[in-house]
Amino acid sequence: MSQQQTLSNQRVRPPIRHIGLLGGTFDPPHHGHLLPLQEILAQLPLDSIWLLPNHIPPHKAGTHASAGQRLDMVSLLCGDNTRLSPCAIELERASPSYTVDTLERLRHKHPDCRFYFIMGMDSFLNLPQWHRWQSLFDLCHLILCERPGWQLDEAQPMMAQLQARGQKAEDGLPQANSGKVIEVPITEQPWSSTEIRAALKHGELPDGAMPKAVGDYIHQHRLYRHR
Ligand SMILES: Nc1ncnc2c1ncn2[C@@H]1O[C@H](COP(=O)(O)OP(=O)(O)OP(=O)(O)O)[C@@H](O)[C@H]1O
Ligand SMILES: O=C(O)c1ccc[n+]([C@@H]2O[C@H](COP(=O)([O-])O)[C@@H](O)[C@H]2O)c1
């Protein structure tokens, strides 16, 4: 092999894969998770979105369904959409599922990937309470979606972050490796796991809350019933 060929081989890098991440407790997963992801995929050239059920949610008292059941439901939520997949990385550790730890692990495991952590406005407004939250901007971009009942106004500390880092979905993916907040317009979805669990306690599954396969799983496993 000539010296020139060796040099050019050394320069060949695998193409970057652009991966969206939706972390959540998914207790249970619902259309407020799924439908925004479909709209994000229609607007941004992401290769895939991975859905990461957490093991120990950092800011919640606990979970109602087990980690395994939540992972099963997330798989059913993804259905046959080949650009959506469940990712069990947070289930592999027994400590609280801090997102910054997950991103460090993912970056180490997948050096060819650039990550885009997706969140609703409720999570974005609470971001300053997250563990080492500012480091997230060194590890990924954020994708921000509206959520009914949650609004960012001038007085909120996250407004300054959005002003400094914000860009619109129509501008495509950023050139930088990390640190931007991409605002993606979505059709607002009224669903929340808390309200769905409250309805299921009385044996009701709200119409249109989730794909049928997830509802069937909940019934088969008798989840979220009044005990
Ligand atoms: N209806 C929705 N619209 C936009 N984003 C949502 C919606 N529901 C959940 N998300 C986002 O999905 C992520 C995971 O949410 P999570 O699994 O905690 O669901 P949840 O419905 O908020 O649950 P709970 O009611 O138990 O707090 C968060 O970033 C949250 O902002
Ligand atoms: O890292 C943190 O400190 C942190 C604090 C709160 C929530 N998160 C993550 O944010 C995602 C949504 O969380 P939740 O509680 O709304 O289900 C999920 O992936 C959580 O693990 C992360």
Q: What is the ipTM of this complex?
A: 0.98
Residue 13, exposed/middle/buried by CB under 10 A (0-12, 13-18, 19+)? exposed
E strand or H helix at 104, and its extent? Answer: helix 99-109
**Residue 4: band (very low, low, confident or very high) from pLDDT cuts 50, 70, 90:** low
Give tens-digit pLDDT for 163-194: 999 999 999 999 999 999 999 999 999 999 99
Residue spans of the domains in the chain: they are 17-190
> Degrees (nearest 5) of the Cα angle 101, 107, 112?
170
Residue 4 Cα to ligand 2 midpoint, Å, equals 49
Quick one: which atom of ligand 1 is closest to the CA of 194? 25
| Residue 28 preceded by cis peptide, ω within 30 | yes
Residue 123 Cα to ligand 1 midpoint, Å, equals 8
- Predicted confidence at residue 154, as pLDDT, reads 87
**Ligand 2 neighbour 57 (Cβ under 6 A):** yes
Nearby residues of 72 by Cβ (< 8 Å), 6 or more positions away: 217
96 pLDDT higher than 80: yes
Residue nearest atom 5 in ligand 1 by C-alpha distance:
120
- Predicted confidence at residue 27, as pLDDT, reads 98
- Put residue 172 in one of left, alpha, beta given phi > 0 → left and psi -120 to 50 → alpha: left
**Residue 138: band (very low, low, confident or very high) from pLDDT cuts 50, 70, 90:** very high
In terms of Cα–Cα distance, which of 189, 60, 208 is closest to 126? 60
Give the ligand whose atoms come closest to the C-alpha of residue 146.
Answer: 1
- Distance between CA atoms of residues 155 and 146, nearest Å: 18
- Report pTM: 0.95
Quick one: which atom of ligand 2 is closest to the CA of 131? 3
126 pLDDT higher than 80: yes
- Predicted confidence at residue 13, as pLDDT, reads 78
- Predicted confidence at residue 25, as pLDDT, reads 97
The mean pLDDT value of the chain amounts to: 94
User: Which homologous superfamily does the CATH classification assign to the domain defined by 17-190?
Assistant: HUPs (3.40.50.620)
**Ligand 1 neighbour 53 (Cβ under 6 A):** no
Collapsing DSSP to helix, strand or coil, 84 comes out as strand
